[in-house]
Amino acid sequence: MPGRLFPLGGPVSEEDIVDREDFLISLETRLLECQSIMLAGPRRIGKTSLALEVIRRIKGKENYVAFVDLFRYNTKRELALALINACLENRSGISKTTTALKDGLKKITGAAKLTAKLQDLEVAFGLPGESKSDDDLFNYALELPEILAQKDKKHMVLVFDEFQEVIRIAGEDALKVMRSYFQVQQHVAYLFLGSKEGMMNTIFGDKKQAFYRFATILPIPSIPSESWVEYISRKFQAQKITISDRVILEVLSLSGGHPQDTMLLCSEIYYSLLEAGVNNLGLDFVRLGYERALSSLSPVFDELLDELGRIGSTRRVLISLTRGLRIYSGLSSNPNEVKRAVDVLIDKAIIEKSGRGAYHFVEPMLKEYLNRKIEVF
Ligand SMILES: Nc1ncnc2c1ncn2[C@@H]1O[C@H](COP(=O)(O)OP(=O)(O)OP(=O)(O)O)[C@@H](O)[C@H]1O
Ligand SMILES: [Mg+2]
């Protein structure tokens, strides 16, 4: 967001993407080789930022790109139109080509050029009209990337953000239909992103699923501390604030290097300094910023806890983890129930497995929040 020193709450622009360079190169190379990829990861770790940056680079090299965020749609028809528009934008230069065609056809003026531009794709007439059934439109949308790429002699990269939502939008059978189109396409590579890791892993990793082995599943690497240290010191120094590496390492140990939590913490530290008119960042301001960041996260964490409160023994398991206990030995519940709770916590990207029977919090700030709240449970 313009004017913000540390970007928060949405995809970050190129200059604020910390590290990721090697991973971006790897994504770009694979996609340009027509390899489709699946990336699943917890909320707010930077999936969309990565995808947008990769398509920015790919587009710059004269390829076609399309980006569709499935969180934004509720019906098959909406999804189909979004996909068609994202594809056609490469040729028409406008984001809502189907609407422009529809309006244009009514008004006549201005439509002729656009229609001519798209004539060979058979979308110019009838497409936005009501005559096509949802399924016809959906099938057409799935076919379009390859048709377009072939006709224009381009390579195309298509990103589906929050891909697991396709089941909510179009039903499980839609996956079969999609795969049947995608697998014969020669000029299109797909990048599937998802924040519900469990669902994504099932869609792409379960033998019974249509997308089984369709895409290479890559883990999203964590951002190394050195990259954060370099970024954070550069940012503060640009504001004429002095900061030592030791202080930055303290920031990172509090946030655990979680991308958005680290940005939030830095941001709160920065505002605390500004308000106090101080330009030398010491541990006292790190503490202050941390308290402020934790309180700004509390509504998010509370909502998460409310949600978990309704799911069996997940809360109990979470408390044991917060206390640093080994969950299977420390709890009296039956192991199957514990296992189910652990699965829920992993699926919700609250914890990650770090070894046999050992788990850690994805966000150390949530752990600290729970620590302080534990007696209230
Ligand atoms: N590489 C990165 N460098 C710096 N900050 C990052 C990076 N990746 C993510 N962030 C931080 O995380 C926030 C969310 O990024 P982004 O929207 O790309 O993540 P996401 O995984 O797609 O999230 P969501 O699950 O909400 O879709 C950013 O606003 C930024 O604060
Ligand atoms: Mg995202």
Task: Read off the CATH number of the domain in which 271 is found.
Answer: 1.10.8.60
Same domain, 268 and 333: no
Among 91-95, 173-177, 258-262, the least confident range: 91-95
Domain boundary among 217, 246, 267: 217
Same domain, 25 and 134: yes
Q: Is residue 2 part of a domain?
A: no
CATH number at residue 106: 3.40.50.300
- Amino acid occupying residue 78: E
Same domain, 202 and 63: yes
Tell me if 292 sits within 8 A of 275, measured CB to CB: no
Same domain, 148 and 204: yes
Same domain, 132 and 24: yes
User: Who surrounds ion ligand 2 at CB < 5 A?
Assistant: 47-48
Among protein residues, the one with the nearest Cα to ligand 1's atom 8 is 46
Among protein residues, the one with the nearest Cα to ligand 1's atom 11 is 260
Q: Where are the beta strands (DSSP E) in 62-183?
A: 64-69, 156-161
DSSP state of 155: -
Q: Where are the beta strands (DSSP E) in 277-344?
A: 280-281
Q: What's the pLDDT at 125?
A: 47
Phi, psi of 126 (to 5 degrees): 85, -30
Q: Is residue 206 part of a domain?
A: yes
Q: Is residue 6 part of a domain?
A: no
Average confidence score pLDDT of the chain: 89
Q: How far is the CA of 9 from the centre of ligand 1 (A)?
A: 7
Q: What's the pLDDT at 124?
A: 47
pLDDT band for 123, please (50, 70, 90 cuts).
low
Same domain, 132 and 197: yes
Question: Higher pLDDT residue, 94 or 178?
Answer: 178
pLDDT band for 80, please (50, 70, 90 cuts).
very high
The tens digit of pLDDT for each residue in 8-30 reads 989 999 889 998 999 999 999 99
Same domain, 66 and 156: yes
Across 283-305, average pLDDT: 95
Among protein residues, the one with the nearest Cα to ligand 1's atom 25 is 43
Among 61-65, 114-118, 124-128, the least confident range: 124-128
Q: Is residue 293 part of a domain?
A: yes
pLDDT band for 235, please (50, 70, 90 cuts).
very high
Q: How far is the CA of 330 from the centre of ligand 1 (A)?
A: 35
Across 108-123, average pLDDT: 72
Q: How far is the CA of 281 from the centre of ligand 1 (A)?
A: 25
What is the longest distance spanned by two Cα atoms in the chain? 74
Give dist(CA 118, CA 254) in Å, integer. 54
Which atom from ligand 1 is nearest to the alpha carbon of 41? 21
pLDDT band for 106, please (50, 70, 90 cuts).
low
Q: What's the pLDDT at 296?
A: 95
Q: Is residue 168 part of a domain?
A: yes
Q: How far is the CA of 15 from the centre of ligand 1 (A)?
A: 13
Same domain, 248 and 144: no
Judged against a pLDDT cut of 90, whether residue 65 lies above it is answered with yes
Q: Is residue 245 part of a domain?
A: yes
Q: Is residue 15 part of a domain?
A: no
Same domain, 242 and 123: no
Containing domain of residue 346, as a range?
311-377
Residues having CB within 6 Å of any atom of ligand 1: 7-12, 16-18, 20, 43-49, 195, 223, 259-260, 263
pLDDT band for 319, please (50, 70, 90 cuts).
confident
Domain boundary among 190, 217, 244: 217
Q: What's the pLDDT at 200?
A: 93
- In 3D, which of 35, 17, 18 has the Cα closest to residue 26? 35
Give dist(CA 272, CA 200) in Å, integer. 40
Q: How would you classify the pairing of strands 351-355 and 358-361?
A: antiparallel
Same domain, 86 and 197: yes
CATH number at residue 342: 1.10.10
Is residue 365 classed as helix, strand or coil in its secondary structure?
helix
Same domain, 150 and 180: yes
Same domain, 258 and 136: no
Share of the chain above pLDDT 90, in %: 66
Q: What's the pLDDT at 306?
A: 87
Residue 279 neighbours by CB under 8 Å, 6+ apart: 239, 240, 241, 242, 273
Counted domains in the chain: 3
Judged against a pLDDT cut of 80, whether residue 186 lies above it is answered with yes
- Give CA torsion, residues 16, 54, 349, 287, to 10 deg: -10
Place of tokens 């023994």: 313
Q: What's the pLDDT at 1?
A: 39
Q: How far is the CA of 150 from the centre of ligand 1 (A)?
A: 34
102, two tokens: 């529809």
Domain boundary among 273, 306, 339: 306
Question: Higher pLDDT residue, 186 or 132?
Answer: 186
Instruction: Indicate the burial class of 42 (C-beta count within 10 angstroms; 0-12, 13-18, 19 or more).
Output: buried
pLDDT band for 3, please (50, 70, 90 cuts).
low
pLDDT band for 74, please (50, 70, 90 cuts).
very high
Q: Is residue 138 part of a domain?
A: yes
Among 123-127, 179-183, 272-276, 278-282, the least confident range: 123-127
Of 49, 222, 261, the one to substitute when testing ligand 1's pocket (max ligand atoms within 8 A of C-beta) is 49
